[in-house]
Structure 1
Amino acid sequence: MKVRTLTSADAEAFQALHIEGVTNYPTAFLRSLDEVRDTSPDEVARVLDSGKIMGAFAGETLIGLAGLAQNGFASARHRAMIGPFYVSTASQGQGAAQALMDALAEKARQMGVLQLELYVWAKNPRAQRFYIRNGFEQVGRIPRSVIIDGEECDDLLMVRALDR
């Protein structure tokens, strides 16, 4: 398993995996399937060339993706948000999520980040267990974080200190 920062050269594989993720787990993404599908190739390339998205590979195949966005305000640069975070259904349970999380944490430390934050759907106990195993703790709940097809979905806010 190899993890690296994605670039515009990975745009087609990234877009296909992103569409798979939004199709299979719409509550795990803020963008709808239509919004993801309608994203232009140039926009996908721009996002990937920003250096904020990492990918997990099995051989040459992209099987997982994870975003890391450092807060841009001077007083909050010690914080970074994880998202999106997705591993292909066919590859779940094979270590890709852990490899991505380890790589994100290392990248965050190199950026001077002290705290990772993420949102996870309140009805996704598998993801919550994974995050807890990785040192995250729930610090809040956001009611109606997203509404998908009329269903109100709560998210949990989870935080992991990297310096403790």
Structure 2
Amino acid sequence: MAVFVALLRAVNVGGTGKLPMADLRAMAEALGFDNIATYIQSGNLVFTSDLAAEEVLAGLDDALTAHFGKSPGIMLRALDELEALYARMPFQDAQPSQVLVTFLQEETAPDALEHMVAADGEEAVVLGSEIVVHYPNGQGRSKLKLPALKPGTARNLNTVRKLLELARERG
């Protein structure tokens, strides 16, 4: 059994993409996933499955598309991928709530940070299919412009740590 973390894009944010976590757990159960857990209301799903990652992703995408009428975007990571990401995490001395990891579906282009405008001293690091941004003054007031973040979904470092903990418990 492989352990997976699915991060859904634009779920329960700003009044759009309504999806109670009980419904998300029920979808995962109907797909045959085991050891299912959700974390906070923003579309974080942790589970185990005998299926290959591509099959897991396809099943989730079909179920969520049926629910929303369109695909919300799913970033799927296996436990070992999340472990590797966390081991390479920059900005270790920053407040975890000021570090956001944007998960993307594909590897980030080498020039992804070229057009970054960081008026408030934000720093970003590309780690494969994730971009990690430190917002020294918090994200809420930031004027950061980084087009490479748009197709992804972001979680702060506290959430990433909790998802990793939940995944480890299932591994």
TM-score normalized by the length of structure 1: 0.25
- Structure with bigger strand share is 1
- Structure with bigger helix share is 1
TM-score normalized by the length of structure 2: 0.25
